[in-house]
Amino acid sequence: MLTIGQLAAYAGVTTRAVRHYHQVGLLPEPERDASGYRRYGAKAVVSLIRIRTLANAGVPLSQIARMLEADASIFAESVRRIDSHLRDEIARLETSRQQIARLTAGDSLALAPQVVAYLDRLREIGASTRMVEAERDGWILVAARWPDLVVEWMPSKLAQLDDPRVVRLYRVLSEIFESDTGGDALLEEAADIMAALAEEAYASGDVLDDGMQGDLPDLLDAFAVETDQRAERLRALMRQRGWSGWTRMERLAEPPDRRDT
Residue 82 sits in a domain whose CATH number is: 1.10.1660.10
Considering the domain architecture, whether residues 75 and 121 belong to the same structural domain is answered as no
Is the pLDDT at 98 greater than 70, yes or no?
Answer: no
Nearest to 157 by CA among 215, 188, 216, 116: 116
Share of the chain above pLDDT 90, in %: 29
Q: At what angle do helices 42-56 and 4-11 cross, to 10 degrees?
A: 50
**Averaged pLDDT for residues 154-174:** 94
Q: For the chain, what is the mean pLDDT?
A: 83
Residue 205: band (very low, low, confident or very high) from pLDDT cuts 50, 70, 90: confident
Q: In angstroms, rounded to a whole number, what is the distance separating the alpha carbons of residues 152 and 138?
A: 16
The domain containing residue 50 runs over which residues? 4-103
At residue 22's C-alpha, the angle toward residues 17 and 23, to 5°, is: 95
Residue 208: which pLDDT band, with cuts at 50, 70 and 90?
very low
Contact yes or no for 143/115 (Cβ under 8 A): yes
Report d(CA 150, CA 32) in Å as an integer.
Answer: 72
- Domain stops at, among 80, 103, 126: 103
For residue 143, is pLDDT > 70? yes
- How far apart are alpha carbons 54 and 52 in whole angstroms? 6
* 105 or 99, which is more confident: 99
Given this model, what pLDDT does residue 100 score?
61
Q: Do 57 and 115 fall into the same domain?
A: no
Does 55 lie in the same domain as 123? no
Q: Measure the CA–CA gap between 175 and 63, rounded to whole angstroms.
A: 63
pTM of structure: 0.57
In this prediction, residues 140-159 reach a mean pLDDT of 87
